[in-house]
Amino acid sequence: MRGLGARAAMLAACFSGLLLAFFLFARPWYLSWGADQRVRAAQLPGDNLLWLGTPRETRAVLIQAPASQVWPWVAQIGQDRAGFYSYEILENLVGCEMKNLDYLIPALQHWQEGDKLWMYPPDRAGGIGQAPLARYDPGHSLVFYTRRPGTALTGQPDGTWAFVVEPVDNETSRLIMRGRGRGSLGLLGASFERSIFEPIHFVMERKMMEGIKMRAEERPVSSARDNVQVLLWVLTFALLIASGILVLEGRGWHWHAVTFTAAGLLFALLTLVQPSVFLGVPLVALLCLGTLARVRRAYGAP
């Protein structure tokens, strides 16, 4: 059994490898998820609203429904409207009081100057969970001003968040999301944004886009399936932490280093790629069983 320093170095090396893979492969992929070069380079509504603003992410999803059928789902988005069609269980864990609707309400689909997109209850947290309406093109686009976390509501917006629906043909449309921002962050701020905020935002935004797609295509939406997905994430993350602790503990540490790396890769797969639960369940079960077998062997359990 090697010393604690050597085991800690191995754990650090595995973690560094996971981070390197994330920044080299995962981050470039999710910043432009679903968007080809034409979409990424296209001038979209709201692009001219932010002086010195630059695109931070452009994402797109193709929907097998005409734009007129997609737009109403986009138009009624918001915490005080029809929800965000994302992982409701996660939103409500942080107090969003979100309720995603699976039906259309025309009264919720109108916007006017002075309206805000609410992501958190208006009467909670000093009203910080808002994004003021910046541009409204009925049937085509909604654009909102955004602020980085910690920016006062009285300060100037430093970002925009655009929802754009464009027709591809009579039966197909494309939903495009674009986030733009200006200004630079310090090292700590940039580290937080790129390693924590960005992937969390992508996970929730991707689910929102796919939620709109499923509803517009009149496909069934299952909150139970979403909850199982989230449970798989929690189990995989718990295995990641447990494997790291077992590496430091010592017994069978080299196998636990492999499990730590596998759990990290699987966690990224489940959260970012979001495969079907019919694939996720056996993968997580296999990882759990493999970890348990190694623990029993290391500790001599019968």
Cα–Cα separations (whole angstroms), residue 87 to 234, 236, 242: 14, 18, 26
Contact predicate 171/64, CB 8 Å = yes
Which backbone phi and psi does 177 adopt, to 5 degrees? -115, 130
Q: Are 160 and 49 in contact (CB under 8 A)?
A: yes
Q: Report the topology of domain 33-221.
A: Alpha-D-Glucose-1,6-Bisphosphate; Chain A, domain 4 (3.30.530)
Helix, strand or coil for residue 127?
A: helix
Distance CA 297, CA 145 (A): 56
300: left (phi over 0), alpha (psi -120 to 50) or beta: left
- For tokens 């630079």, the residue is 184
Burial of 166 per CB tally in 10 Å (0-12, 13-18, 19+):
middle
Annotated domain spans of the chain: 4-25+226-298, 33-221
The whole-model pTM stands at 0.94
How many other C-beta atoms are found inside a 10 Å radius of the C-beta of residue 117? 24
d(CA 104, CA 277): 27
E strands present in 41-149: 54-63, 116-118, 130-137, 141-146
pLDDT in tens, the chain (302 residues): 568 999 999 999 999 999 999 999 999 999 999 999 999 999 999 999 988 777 789 999 999 999 999 999 999 999 999 999 999 999 999 999 999 999 999 999 999 999 999 999 998 888 889 999 999 999 999 999 998 776 777 778 889 999 999 999 999 999 999 999 887 777 888 888 899 999 999 999 999 999 999 999 999 999 999 999 999 999 999 999 999 999 999 888 989 999 999 999 999 999 999 999 999 999 999 999 999 988 888 776 55
Q: What is the pLDDT of residue 293?
A: 87
Closest CA to 236 of 295, 290, 287: 287
pLDDT in tens, 211-237: 999 999 999 999 999 999 999 999 999
Q: How far apart are CA 162 and CA 208, in angstroms?
A: 14
User: Crossing angle for the helix pair 67-75 and 198-216, nearest 10 degrees?
Assistant: 130
